[in-house]
Amino acid sequence: RDGLKFAIQKIKPYYPLYIVTMLVAIPLSIIKIKNAELNIDIFFVEVVSTVLMVRSWIPVKEIASSLNEVAWYLNLYFFLLIITPAAAKAVKIFEGKHFEKKKIVGFVLLLYAIQWINLYVVLDWDNAYWMIYMNPFVRSLEYVMGMGVGRYVSSTYEERTKKGKNKTVILKERGGY
């Protein structure tokens, strides 16, 4: 619930332009419907899923990359914003003295294993693009991994500075998260 509120607050500035680009793309879809290149039911799902910002969450090529095709990233961003509060709590395993490098290596290997498994699990290669590239669940693993590395760098900053081993000054000066 907190994640959804957070996501809505963060996405508000982009949403009007997102809808405008969808409206601009609708006439092209109507032409496709008239030429029997697009099913009216698929078009309805495209519009509704676009308005709700869940279009790229649907593993069907005709829907995930429909209307304004590049807007899939904003759908992904919305998903990542929803999970951010929970992910920020989860990455505490990367903090300070309780951190083990094995955890980060294990997490990175898990991420790549999931990506490779996706390559072999996808039987419908028309939808492989979604599964490998647009899939918000796989992308969220990358996002959480980045948060974890950022948390680790931030939490060990002072310790490394005292030992004269700090090479991440620029990260700390820019605020991290």
- Per-residue pLDDT tens for 111-149? 778 777 777 776 666 667 777 778 888 788 888 878 877
Cα 119 to Cα 115: distance, rounded to the nearest angstrom: 7
Lowest mean pLDDT among 61-70, 143-152, 158-167: 158-167
The tens digit of pLDDT for each residue in 76-99 reads 899 999 999 888 887 776 665 556
Condensed to tens digits (0 to 9), the pLDDT of residues 31-52 reads 988 998 888 888 898 889 889 9
Region for 116 from its dihedrals, namely left if φ exceeds 0, alpha if ψ lies in -120 to 50, beta otherwise: alpha
Quick check: 167 and 159 in contact, CB under 8 A?
no
CA distance 82 to 100: 28
